[in-house]
Structure 1
Amino acid sequence: MDPKSASQPQQHRRPNVVFVLTDDQDVHLSSLEYMPLVKKHLLDRGTRFGSHYATTAVCCPSRVTLWTGKFAHNTNVTDVSPPYGGYPKFVEQGFNEDYLPVWLQEAGYNVYYTGKLFNVHTVENYNSPAPGGFTGSDFLLDPYTYNYLNSTFQRNGEGPRSYEGQYSTDVLAEKAYGLLDEAVNAGKPFFLVAAPVAPHANVVMKASASDSHRDLDDLPFEFTEPVPAERHKHLFKDKKVPRTANFNPDQPSGANWISQLPRQNDSNVEYNDHFYRQRLRSLQAVDELVDGLFRRLEAHGVLDNTYFVYSSDNGYHIGQHRLQPGKSCGYEEDVNVPLIVRGPGVAANYTTDGAGSGFVTTHADLAPTFFELLGIEQREDFDGAPIPVTKEGIEEVLRRGERREHAGIEYWGMAMGEGIHNRNPREHNTYKALRVSGPGYNLYYSVWCNNEHELYDLSVDPGQLHNLLPSSESTVPSTATIADYPVPVDKVAARLDALLLVLKTCAGTTCQRPWAELHPEGGVRTLADALEPRYDSFYEAQNRTAHVKYAYCANGFLPDAEGPTWEGLRDGLRWEDWV
């Protein structure tokens, strides 16, 4: 069929969306630099958001946040598998009837999806219930989701079908092209998602994917490096993990279990360089998928009326802080993820300023952004807010100082390496963290469930190697200040802790404007405002009264483990009492 024969007049139609969502794609390992077709179609013709963050650095909680506009502490989907996460938990929490695909259909959009939806969406539970909200779908299913050469897909109401021996991303690409044809032929505005698993590690399950068995010494799966398509196996032979200051450092760094990691030996580093090359190679088929979608959008005559969005569920580390390949940490490699938008009115070859710009965005903002782009009225229960995607809109919010400068980050449960070396699964990788970026400061603050604290000034320490809040408070220099902002570290930490106390249980507009909770009189909208000396007594009192502190380490969101909350403190301490 000639694609043009399916075209419909587009001038007066509502815009379409095509969304490519990769799995575990990094920003800080430079993967986008090895995707020339993404550069051609998206980076050169669209806008890149440099300070975009996943709020939970693992796939299922992050994807639920993306599709609901709610942080994980509000969805209570905090893990990749039961009892705290996975598709069964998503259904149990009532979201199968109340998330973006359903809302889009209610707004008159046809919704199509191929690839990975959620973890523990399996060959056994794919229709009990079927995911809601899709006009057409072809889902990857566990336990074969991450097996690049033995995938299983399930189309619409049909039974699962094995594609053993075929390359997963290529199978997905053909399905995406077919769904795009269906979408255009239907003559309605559409929202199409293509969600390949690259560059995720290859995973072979040794037991049922629905098995909630969590014996850390006998896990039911085996991780190896990603598998590229045969045509890409020869590429990037000399490439290595970027040798940044935090790559396999001489001295330990971080906190909690990370600070105890041994330095990797030469054979370990050599394997991890191979793992890195395999990630780059696996992304080449995704690069081709992007090109194929653009060519078909253009052939159908709908490209000019379509927003094309590219992102990933979380980031990735290889060797930073001595970590084996993986994610699940709050450091920049794991949470800063790609976000590129091209479409009507979006500036070409434009990048929002990164660190220090005060233009921070998160996955919780994506559902509200899709609503904004498609002319759908915003929901009051969104934790995120629409991202302006035009250059004029971005510059206007920066000029007015209205764009928030923070990303709340949270994690519960296990972390593990994904290569062949020192997998060492770790329970209690539970923490709350805060990323704040504005003029004069570029900071990361975290509190682990063992109540160790971290504060990094990324303006001078981009590798997050030098914790300004070591375990012994007596070792904090009283004269330490933040680069370009001559304020003592303890005063900065007090403000950040108060902000994190609000964000760790926030909902709705409180997540969008947390300073307004602390300062309802309206005098504080940024960290710079809060650092004014007249607020010193208020934050000293707040820090004495309650601060972010865990009662114990838990592998999921258990209220009695979470420690003090802003709700419990709010009525007893507000700025107006100190005026």
Structure 2
Amino acid sequence: MKNTSLFYSVAGFAALSAVASSCQQKQEEQKKYNIVYIMTDDHTAQMMSCYDTRYMETPNLDRIAADGVRFTNSFVANSLSGPSRACMITGKHSCANKFYDNTTCVFDSAQQTFPKLLQKAGYQTALVGKWHLESLPTGFNYWEIVPGQGDYYNPDFITQNNDTVHRHGYITNLITDDAIDWMENGRDKSKPFCLLIHHKAIHRNWMADTCHLNLYEDKTFPLPETFFDDYEGRPAAAAQEMSIVKDMDMIYDLKMLRPDKQSRLKTMYERFLGRMDEAQRAAWDKFYGPVIEDFYKKNPQGKELAEWKFQRYMRDYMKTVKSLDENVGRVLDYLKEKGLLDNTLVVYTSDQGFYMGEHGWFDKRFMYEESMHTPLIMRLPAGFDRRGDVTELVQNIDYAPTFLELAGVEVPSDIHGQSMLPLLRGEHPKDWRKALYYHFYEYPAEHMVKRHYGVRTDRYKLIHFYNDIDVWELYDLQNDPQELHNLYGQKEYEAVVADLKQQLLQLQEQYNDPVRFSPDRDKE
């Protein structure tokens, strides 16, 4: 006779185990990932050792790439701080979010943004640091931002109570302090969170923390091959005002302050110094005093002056990066200590790239590679096994749909970007975009980069400068990665140009950009 009681007890145990396993699986599926999105200002891939080892080491940023992915074809839609941030937070090009430039626009905070959608889905959302969209933030449970660009030393912050508070210290440290404090003490720990840590660094005028002032002074950096570019065949490139030689301010940018010397931006630099306390100013003067004395004693001119300015620029920029890298390490260490890393997507990027002497420039704005390309690295949570390089073309309009899909939130149909989640899973979607659209609007303005739009594929880039100029440029990025040889108008590239113009028009129509290429006019 069978022992039926044993049979039923075993069967019952198996059934209960199946139910428990199913419940656990559902709980895991319902578990929401946290998002820590760190964004800097004007940090270029050339100055991150996970991308480029020529200049400096960034060990903490490299930790993110080593434990996740590095995007090698990451780009912005409009290489300017405010517009780039608007593209990021809305997932839409400038023509749709209506924040075109830094000089005439105020961001409409009533419009749809990914923090608002995450908030509706039960996320705790926070923003700390640089907002730079003129209006006040919305869609955040907590925010504290710097006015405008913010100050490196003893900065002011605007709070949710619309108070302006003065904080003592170095801005990169203070923003990180606030971010960690919110994660530890300010949020509802029963809910998933999305934290935006937006730094002022590494924005002009590259004022380092006093503890780093002596770094990199023993380094001499090779001039970029294009440092003395003559801009032949590129009139828009020749017309800019962002030259290290001609436009980099000796006092504001390079700190060569002396009572008998004047410069266009001297007063602004003196205001920055005036924010320092006695100990900070003493450390600053102790370092820069001998540098100033040596510079005016030697009085370099011509090519020697140009090379001197480049070396000082590189050192100041790198010292500012050093603080940033250390503070990224603090955030990673906190997440590890609190057991949050396995359930958190950590993203690091910048609002655009930057010129480190390429073409003789500093700043950004152009559609050329150094400023359109932006670093993007992600440390992936458990369940995402992708490691190494992601080579697909991605853009900052893709961040919003990525975060939304990761959180299980439906991506609105009016968002322009594509979710990168399939790429993070190791997939290579056949329908992934083959071309990127770019549009820069801010002219006339600082640095005088002319308005332009264009299309970039994996090999070619077509740019149209318009408004007070009507010039097309074509580059073969495979054979001319430095973009020195404008191929537009050459007979052998007519078919390439025709194809790129068709793709350009398709993208302008897809994104409903009212400023667009007219094929009929082009035939005239």
Asked which structure has the greater CA Rg, the reply is 2
Map 1:415-564 → 2, pairs under 5 A: 425-426=447-448, 429-437=450-458, 442-449=459-466, 450-469=469-488, 473=489, 476=490, 478=491, 488-507=492-511, 559=514, 562=515, 564=517
Among 37, 42, 57, which residue is 1:19 paired with?
A: 37
Please report how far the alpha carbon of residue 102 of structure 1 lies from its aligned counterpart in structure 2 after TM superposition.
1.1
2:337 is the alignment partner of 1:299: yes
Q: Distance in 1 between matches of 2:244 and 2:341?
A: 49
**Alpha carbon RMSD of aligned pairs, Å?**
2.6
Q: What residue identity is the alignment partner of 2:456?
A: R
Contact 1:45–1:347 at 8 Å: present in 2 too? no
In structure 2, the CA distance between the partners of 1:453 and 1:565, relative to structure 1 (3 Å rule), is closer
Pairing of 1:100-249 with structure 2 (within 5 A): 100-121=114-135, 130-142=136-148, 145-163=149-167, 166-182=169-185, 185-202=188-205, 226-239=206-219, 243-249=223-229
Give the drift of 1:491. Answer: 0.3
Give, in whole Å, the separation in 1 of the partners of 2:499 and 2:82.
31
Rounded Cα–Cα distance in structure 2 between residues aligned with 1:232 and 1:199: 14
> Aligned partners of 1:197 and 1:266: how far apart in 2?
31
1:64 to 86, 89, 113: 86
For 2:366, give the aligned amino acid.
C
Q: Please show how residues 16-415 of structure 1 align to structure 2 within 5 Å.
A: 16-30=34-48, 33=53, 34-82=56-104, 85=105, 89-91=106-108, 95-121=109-135, 130-142=136-148, 145-163=149-167, 166-182=169-185, 185-202=188-205, 226-239=206-219, 243-249=223-229, 251-253=230-232, 255-259=234-238, 264=245, 265-323=303-361, 325-344=362-381, 345-347=383-385, 349-353=387-391, 359-388=392-421, 392-394=425-427, 396-397=428-429, 401-414=430-443
Q: Distance in 2 between matches of 1:58 and 1:369?
A: 22
Question: How many Å apart are 1:147 and its aligned residue?
Answer: 2.0
CA deviation profile, 1:177-227 (whole Å, cap 9, x unmatched): 11111366532000001111111103xxxxxxxxxxxxxxxxxxxxxxx01
CA distance in 2, matches of 1:293, 1:148: 20
Q: More displaced, 493-502 or 176-185?
A: 176-185
Q: Distance between the aligned counterparts of 1:238 and 1:416, measured in 2? A: 37
**CA deviation digits over 1:43-69, x for unaligned, max 9?**
111101110001101011111010001
Instruction: List alignment gaps of at least 5 residues for structure 1.
Output: 1-9, 122-129, 203-225, 354-358, 418-424, 479-487, 509-556, 570-579
Q: Distance in 2 between matches of 1:156 and 1:235?
A: 37
Q: Secondary structure at the match of 1:365?
A: helix
C-alpha contact (below 8 Å) 1:48/1:340 kept by paired residues = yes
TM-score (norm 1): 0.69
Cα deviation for residue 232 of structure 1 reads: 1.4
Quick check: 257-266 or 359-368, which moved more? Answer: 257-266
1:35 Cα offset (Å): 4.6
Aligned 8 A contact 1:60 1:77 in 2: yes
Q: Which runs of 5+ in 2 are unaligned?
A: 1-26, 246-302
CA distance in 2, matches of 1:497, 1:191: 39
Shift of 1:565: 5.4
User: 1:55 corresponds to which letter in structure 2?
Assistant: A
State the distance in 2 between where 1:116 and 1:298 align.
25
The letter of the residue matching 1:406 is A
CA contact 2:125–2:139 (8 Å) conserved in 1: yes
Measure the CA separation in 1 of the matches of 2:505 and 2:75: 19
Cα distance change, pair 430–171 in 1 and its aligned pair in 2 (3 A): same
d(CA) in 2 for partners of 1:69, 1:102: 13
Q: State how far apart, in whole Å, the 1-side matches of 2:405 and 2:432 are.
A: 16
Shift in Å, 1:30: 4.7
Cα deviation, residue 253, structure 1: 4.2
Counting aligned pairs with the same residue, the percent is: 25
Say whether the 8 Å CA contact 1:365–1:384 is kept in structure 2: yes
Q: Distance in 2 between matches of 1:245 and 1:229?
A: 31
Count of residues in correspondence between the two structures:
428
CA offsets 1:59-114 (integer angstroms, 9 cap, x no match): 111110100011011122110132xx2xxx212xxx43421221111111110110
Task: Please state which structure has a larger fraction of its residues in helix.
Answer: 2
2:457 is paired with a residue whose SS is strand
Task: Tell me: CA distance 1:415–1:285, structure 2 relative to 1, closer, same or farther (3 Å).
Answer: farther
Contact kept? 1:151, 1:168, Cα under 8 Å = yes
Match for 2:68: what amino acid? G
- SS for the counterpart of 1:194 is strand
**Cα distance, 1:303 vs structure 2:** 1.4
Secondary structure of 1:56 counterpart: coil
